[in-house]
Amino acid sequence: MALVGLRDESVSAFADGREWGTAGAYEAVSAVAGFAVDPGAAANRGIVDLERVAGADGLARFEADLRVLRPRAGGNGGLVFVVPNRGLLGGIPFSAGAPIQLADLDTLDAGDGFLLARGWTVAWCGWQWDVARGEASVGLTAPTVDVGPGWLRIEFRPDTDQPDHPLSDSSPFFAFTDFPTVGVDDPDAFLTERLTPDGAPRPVPRDRWRFVDATTVALDGGFRAFHWYTLTYRTSLCPVVGTGLLAVRDAASWLRRTGDLTHAFAFGVSQSGRFLRQFLYEGRNVDEAGAVVFGGVFAHIAGARRGEFNHRYAQPSLTHPLGFTNLPPYDTAGLLAPPRAAAASSGAVSSGAANSGAANNEAGDHEAEVPSAVPKLFLTNSSWEYWRGDGALVHIHPETGEDLPDDPDARVYLLRGTDHFGALTLKEFMPGANPTHAHDVGPILRALFVALVEWVCMGDDPPPSKVPRWKDGTASTREAVLKQFATTIDAAATTAAVAIATDATDATDATGGAWLPDLDALNVTRDMDLGPGAETGTGRWPPVFGAAKPAVVAAVDADGNETAGVALPVVAVPVAAYTGWNPRRPVAGLPNPLYEFLGSMLPLLTDPGFPARDAYESAVRAAAAGLVESRFLIAEDVESTVREALTVYDRAAVPGRSPGGQPGATPAG
């Protein structure tokens, strides 16, 4: 058994009945899905503690919120299954002109309706047990198990001083269910503090901190901004977190079976991309009946990480890497080894027909291949994932740092000069030391989705992977790149046509410059030992840390721009240097680490000598044409990418303005 029923189902017209392309009108479906799974089934093995919550009938039961947008007239026979990030629907993937949204299904802004106009069914299913559920978010009612008190740790790094912190991964942006302590006077609980992501933890004396109540911890004088804290304590709350993996699998499988959908693609961003890496690594792409679920998987900005998605006392929202999140394997062959083994042993078959017709213009009338039990995999990362120390582990040896051979079922793409947040305007208010940029990689993602569909449905090979490689000279180390900036920035700043500030009078050093991070404060991925129970889902805290893994990034050219990866025209024909790194704004007495997720927009390291606008536009259009030819851009997105580049060019031509038009900081020179 799997998805066994829906309750509280509602169906309404989407977007007031607007018609999308040739697909026509859509309807929005909201429901709560009920699941019943057999802990002994091969497809469910390895879900930690699942057997402990089986009922009298031998089945484990749980519920999850389900949202579906489906064409009333049947559509193209394809499903895009979106893994929600921290419970949020967020929007309809690949839609141009639509922001990230905190909206329910009925009021989502579909932008240009990229997927809808092509007839795709789009679905979301809750999988995270600890999110606040509501109209704009979906979650999971996971069963809980009584295994006695166990150890976990809470990691947090506030941006402002705060007197206390909840016993969860909650932040100013998200509130999650707390793990209550077994006792506010527990003498064995301990708190540590460190000043950098990989810094040595310093114990905080027990008499300086306390549990205010069962779900709150406080520190004398408060928790200080930009300090990393780890609280290790015991709790008795133990949800079966891994049921979220089964909810995604079985909801997608049910939609395929009941909706006559012949091809399904999974899409996840950041945390949700890490979830998909975990999903693949655990071999969850085959359901209890032996049917294949996803023919293609697209994980964006997940780096080489997985997450706390299937172990005791797991916090799925946690981004800090000091635990299950950063365990190997990292590379594509390692991720796909379990589904390959599962396919070989189970004889899994496709749940779809041989000719799907999915994707309209993408697949056309070509004969489609039956999806393999091993999905085709796309991994895209920004430059930030490389700079935080794990992105390159997807395609390099984790010990030597050498290039790995390409996997025949996967493609990996660095999106050159980008950061984790892309065009998110919230970046302007984050404490980065350097100006940020609003570079939108959406056009690349749209083109790559088309390529993934053509690979799965038509057998057409997608563009080859584009990542930093030692063999072609496009790989480097963070130290070497920062040295290049450090030795060049002073001379370049005096001749740059663009100041690193919205207004030159805002900077105390009008010559420009840039803040660089401290080398010994950079993020690191390490070997770690979580104890003998880690393989079966019980971690030991704190872990024992070992050697650092190689951290490989893209080499940069004389201007400071990366030489590897896929670049939209604004980066390929640059008037500024786009980086995947940005230090935190300097704080007296503290080291200068990178601020999470942010890139920088800096003056070119050489005298730019900008061409005339018409010549610049010609170069930009040539770059866009090259991307269309190589299938990294679709024709309908050419004009938007040209406009982005020209907008940045026009800003760069105004003295005292940043190309990104965002506030800068006092440069270090």
Residue 128 scores a pLDDT above 80: yes
Over residues 346-365, the mean pLDDT reads 43
Give me the pLDDT at residue 607, please: 76
Over residues 604-623, the mean pLDDT reads 91
**Looking at the 3D structure of the chain, how many domains does it have?**
3
The answer to whether residue 606 sits within a structural domain is yes
Give me the pLDDT at residue 654, please: 60
Domain that holds residue 640: 473-531+552-652
The answer to whether residue 612 sits within a structural domain is yes
The answer to whether residue 522 sits within a structural domain is yes
Residue 496 scores a pLDDT above 50: no
Per-residue pLDDT band for 74 (boundaries 50, 70, 90) equals confident
Give me the pLDDT at residue 487, please: 85
Which of 180, 181, 179, 205 minimizes the C-alpha distance to 192?
205
The answer to whether residue 325 sits within a structural domain is yes
- For 501-527, the three-class secondary structure string (H helix, E strand, C coil) is CCCHHHCCCCCCCCCCCCHHHCCCCEE
Co-location of 17 and 130 in the same domain: yes
Co-location of 157 and 115 in the same domain: no
Which of 631, 272, 604, 278 minimizes the C-alpha distance to 466?
631
Co-location of 218 and 101 in the same domain: no
Give me the pLDDT at residue 662, please: 40
The answer to whether residue 34 sits within a structural domain is yes
Q: What is the mean pLDDT of the chain?
A: 90
Q: Domain boundary residue among 374, 403, 419?
A: 374
The answer to whether residue 284 sits within a structural domain is yes
Which of 285, 280, 291 minimizes the C-alpha distance to 353?
291
Residue 55 scores a pLDDT above 80: yes
155: number of Cβ within 10 Å: 17
Q: Domain boundary residue among 218, 235, 252?
A: 235
Co-location of 496 and 511 in the same domain: yes
pLDDT tens digits, 499-557: 333 333 232 232 346 899 999 999 999 999 999 999 889 999 999 999 999 999 999 99
Per-residue pLDDT band for 395 (boundaries 50, 70, 90) equals very high
Co-location of 256 and 189 in the same domain: no
Q: Domain boundary residue among 351, 374, 397?
A: 374
Give, as one character, the DSSP assignment of residue 595.
Answer: P
The answer to whether residue 545 sits within a structural domain is no
Co-location of 519 and 590 in the same domain: yes
Per-residue pLDDT band for 372 (boundaries 50, 70, 90) equals low
Co-location of 112 and 194 in the same domain: no
Co-location of 511 and 557 in the same domain: yes
The answer to whether residue 440 sits within a structural domain is no
Give me the pLDDT at residue 667, please: 31
Co-location of 323 and 276 in the same domain: yes
Over residues 215-242, the mean pLDDT reads 98
Co-location of 485 and 625 in the same domain: yes
Co-location of 487 and 600 in the same domain: yes
Co-location of 315 and 178 in the same domain: no
Give me the pLDDT at residue 494, please: 33
Give me the pLDDT at residue 124, please: 98
Over residues 647-657, the mean pLDDT reads 76
Residue 352 scores a pLDDT above 80: no
